[in-house]
């Protein structure tokens, strides 16, 4: 069976959830082999094994982590030449997409980005992409070289499967071009206890209907009762009610959680573009004509200041019982 290379996203210690999703997808096309740059592979091995990684290629050393994107592309290119994989999967993050582009150039292969699903076709993997602000789903396929696909986080639910995760060190002499820019400092972003927005299984987002920065405590309370991340519409972030890094939409983050709760959000096309591939969408809005209801699996027509506290209380009551 051919290998499918999966570029592991990690923070040097723990594996990011998107890696487990990519391993799950990779099993549809062959034998998943994770590619781990930098240190920490040994510690992560068990987790990678439990999601079906047959192998973990490791490329350690300062050179691998001191430069952005280019080392990953060169390591993957070397592995493509060595293993002739059925496909290469990378996370559709800013860095992952840059790696995908560089790898495509190096290997003369086609690249697909922002896939929301990947299924076997007659001539290899067929990717689904959500385009024009999500109004249209296209299916596309790589026709040259090895398919390189950047898959959005949360495209699939990670499913456990046994694997060996045999560590296999690889040595790649990076080109001077790959070392052209050096990372001089890393600043760790202050993190809340909440899950990361693009990785969360549940996202609760607030919009202009929330009415002010202080009222976002209501959204946070609901999110915390569900173990969810908090998002916001651009109207809310532009008003300074919530930080811009939590904006969901065309010019913000793209999320695709199992459950998306839109609270006081009208559903403008630019907001939809960032959330409409969510598996289940629930809406709380006082206007029954709000366009967001067109997307909703469940909707509550009501005043969020009445509905949200009751919902949070009921969730807490059920969790307590």
Ligand X SMILES: Cc1cc2nc3c(=O)[nH]c(=O)nc-3n(C[C@H](O)[C@H](O)[C@H](O)COP(=O)(O)OP(=O)(O)OC[C@H]3O[C@@H](n4cnc5c(N)ncnc54)[C@H](O)[C@@H]3O)c2cc1C
Return the ∠ at Cα 215 (arms to 211 and 216), rounded to 5°. 105
Strand bridging mode 87-91 / 111-121: unpaired
**Does residue 294 touch ligand X according to CB under 6 A?**
no
**Does residue 236 touch ligand X according to CB under 6 A?**
yes
Shortest separation between residue 267's beta carbon and ligand X, angstroms: 7
User: How far is it, in rounded angstroms, from Cα 295 to Cα 177?
Assistant: 46
Strand bridging mode 229-232 / 166-169: unpaired
Q: Which of 134, 153, 158, 252 binds ligand X (CB under 6 A)?
A: 252
**Does residue 249 touch ligand X according to CB under 6 A?**
yes
What does the per-residue mask of binding to ligand X show for 174-213, with x meaning CB under 6 A?
---------------------------------xxx----
Lookup result for tokens 């209907």: 209
User: How far is it, in rounded angstroms, from Cα 307 to Cα 158?
Assistant: 32
Shortest separation between residue 155's beta carbon and ligand X, angstroms: 20
**Does residue 293 touch ligand X according to CB under 6 A?**
no
Q: Which of 113, 233, 277, 278 binds ligand X (CB under 6 A)?
A: 233
Q: Does residue 294 sit in helix, strand or coil? A: helix
**Does residue 290 touch ligand X according to CB under 6 A?**
yes
Q: Give Cα separations from 271 to 191, 219, 249, 250, 294 (angstroms).
A: 24, 17, 4, 6, 13
Total interface residues for ligand X by CB under 6 A: 28
**Does residue 134 touch ligand X according to CB under 6 A?**
no
When the beta carbons of 172 and 281 are compared against ligand X, the nearer one is 281
Q: Which of 171, 163, 183, 150 is nearest to 58 (CA)?
A: 171
Shortest separation between residue 14's beta carbon and ligand X, angstroms: 29
Interacting residues toward ligand X by CB under 6 A: 207-209, 233-236, 247-252, 264-266, 268, 270-271, 274, 284-287, 290, 303-305
């Amino acid at each position: 069976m051919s290998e499918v290379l999966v570029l592991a996203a990690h923070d040097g210690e723990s594996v990011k959830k998107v890696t487990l999703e990519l391993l799950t997808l990779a099993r549809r096309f062959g034998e998943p082999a994770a590619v781990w740059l930098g240190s920490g592979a040994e510690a992560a091995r068990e987790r990678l094994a439990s999601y079906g990684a047959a192998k973990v290629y490791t490329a350690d050393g300062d050179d691998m982590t001191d430069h952005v994107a280019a080392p990953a592309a060169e390591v993957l290119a070397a592995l493509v030449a060595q293993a002739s994989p059925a496909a290469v999967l990378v996370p559709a993050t800013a860095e992952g997409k840059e790696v995908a582009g560089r790898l495509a150039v190096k290997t003369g292969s086609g690249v697909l980005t922002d896939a929301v699903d990947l299924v076997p076709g007659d001539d290899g993997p067929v990717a689904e992409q959500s385009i024009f602000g999500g109004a249209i789903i296209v299916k596309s396929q790589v026709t040259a070289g090895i398919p390189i696909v950047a898959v959005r986080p949360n495209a699939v639910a990670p499913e456990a499967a046994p694997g060996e995760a045999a560590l296999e060190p690889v040595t790649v002499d990076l080109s001077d071009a790959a070392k052209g820019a050096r990372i001089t400092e890393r600043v760790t972003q202050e993190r809340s206890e909440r899950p990361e927005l693009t990785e969360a299984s549940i996202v609760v987002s607030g919009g202009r209907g929330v009415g002010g920065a202080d009222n976002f405590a209501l959204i946070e309370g609901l999110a915390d009762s569900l173990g969810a991340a908090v998002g916001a519409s651009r109207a809310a972030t532009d008003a300074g009610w919530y930080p811009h890094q939590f904006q969901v939409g065309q010019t913000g983050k793209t999320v695709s959680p199992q459950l998306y709760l839109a609270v006081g959000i009208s559903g403008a096309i630019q907001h939809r573009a960032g959330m409409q591939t969510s598996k289940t969408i629930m809406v709380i809005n006082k206007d029954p004509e709000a366009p967001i209801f067109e997307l909703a699996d469940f909707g509550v027509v009501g005043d969020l200041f009445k509905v949200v506290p009751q919902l949070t209380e009921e969730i807490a009551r059920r969790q307590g019982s």
